[in-house]
A and B are shown apart, each in its own frame.
Chain A
Amino acid sequence: MNDERQFDHTPDPVLGDALRTALRPPGNDAAFVARVMARYDATLAAGTVPTWEVLARWARPGIAAALALAVIGGFVLGRSLPPGAESDESATVEAAIVPASGPGLAALVTAAAPPDASIVLTSLVEPQ
């Protein structure tokens, strides 16, 4: 019962006996064996494992399939939108970087001389 034995590579008989006693299940093993064998024919006839295990085994593939379906569905839905919706979105992005008047954002950031701060702020803040 000391610390040196805690990393032992051999089972501890004292602890093992105590645990075996503590985990002694109620009822004898014969009754348990009879209970299992009572389902022998039905299990073989079904030719499958109990339902819960089938469900557990298919849980992860099921979730993955659902995610894949959701992605494909989203893609198909996006493709089926009217073309006007997509062009409106791209027009909005272009409008955001090309102001209605003035030198424009691209010209400001690529200019050799630093721009006047008021021009930059105006081109960024000014409503289109």
Chain B
Amino acid sequence: MPADLPPLPPFPPSPQPPGGAARIEAAELVARAVEGDRGAFGLLVERYAAQARRVAQAVLGDPDDADDAAQDGFLSALVKLSQYDPRRPFGPWLMRIVANAAADRRRRMRVRRAEPLDPSLVGGGPRPDAEAVRSELGARLRAALGELTPRRRAAVVLFDVEGYSHAEIGEILGVPEGTVRSEVFHARRRLRALLADWKGA
């Protein structure tokens, strides 16, 4: 190759999806993990642990079951890492495995895990401090989430909490994009009404 070639013109700025840099890094970590790098897999688990636990909890409702499902998801991903296509974002691929693990666990349990609404919260009792207020709001939100279908819960959490696009959520949940939009719409309507009532109170 001649040494005096003119420098290449800079690439025009291209729109980068959110988390683009993280995606490349995740793909690199996956490549290292496939080769047996335990630390690389550990970094992946560390990076996606919170997200996977939230998604599993959105599906299952119960935090302990959610952690079991999230763990199953990570370990399933470990043995499937060689099947991951590095040209695609890693997050949706992993969250699909986690969501499937949670859904399978839910089917096996055959027990509705909706957290019953604490009667003391319904009456809007005293709110001594900010932490108690947040805790009470969290309890109300969890109760409201418990009234939604698992798919609706997962859709709104993946969209509004984790920031995935409708198309990515469709891939994760295995449903058409239009279905995801509908699920997010209905979940938001229910949850926003709750938040509005809370703020108005």
> What 1/0 flags go to A13-25 for Cβ under 8 Å of B?
0111011111111
Among the 9-residue stretches B39-47, B86-94, B119-127, the one with 4 or more Cβ atoms under 8 Å from chain A is B39-47
Point out the residues of chain B lying under 8 angstroms from A7, CB to CB: 181, 185
Interface contact A33-B72, CB-CB below 8 Å: no
**B142 in the interface (beta carbon within 8 A):** yes
Task: State the main secondary structure of chain B at its contact with A.
Answer: helix
**A61 in the interface (beta carbon within 8 A):** no
CA distance A50 to B104 in the complex (A): 12
CA distance A25 to B157 in the complex (A): 14
Interface contact A53-B104, CB-CB below 8 Å: yes
**B134 in the interface (beta carbon within 8 A):** yes
Known interface pairs A14-B195, A25-B63, A39-B71. Does A19 touch B160 (Cβ–Cβ under 8 Å)? yes
CA distance A21 to B142 in the complex (A): 10
Known interface pairs A36-B75, A43-B79. Does A56 touch B142 (Cβ–Cβ under 8 Å)? no
* Those of A37-92 within 8 Å (CB) of chain B: 37, 39-40, 43-44, 47-50, 52-53, 56
Cβ 8 A contact of A56, one of B46, B70, B71, B104 = B104
**A6 in the interface (beta carbon within 8 A):** yes
Interface contact A23-B58, CB-CB below 8 Å: yes
Least CB distance from A63 to B in Å reads 15
CA distance A23 to B102 in the complex (A): 15
Least CB distance from A1 to B in Å reads 5
Point out the residues of chain A lying under 8 angstroms from B67, CB to CB: 25, 27, 32, 35
* Those of B162-201 within 8 Å (CB) of chain A: 163, 166, 181, 185, 188-189, 191-192, 195-196, 199
**B117 in the interface (beta carbon within 8 A):** no
Point out the residues of chain B lying under 8 angstroms from A40, CB to CB: 38, 41-42, 78
Interface contact A18-B137, CB-CB below 8 Å: yes
Interface contact A33-B46, CB-CB below 8 Å: yes
Pairs of residues from A and B, 6 with the lowest C-beta to C-beta distance, nearest first = A22-B141, A22-B138, A16-B160, A29-B49, A23-B54, A25-B53
**A→B interface (CB under 8 Å):** 1, 3, 5-7, 9, 11-12, 14-16, 18-27, 29-30, 32-33, 35-37, 39-40, 43-44, 47-50, 52-53, 56
18 extra A-B contacts, CB within 8 A, seeds A40-B78, A53-B101: A1-B195, A11-B160, A12-B192, A15-B195, A18-B137, A18-B195, A19-B160, A20-B54, A21-B141, A23-B161, A40-B38, A40-B41, A43-B75, A43-B79, A49-B75, A50-B75, A52-B72, A52-B105
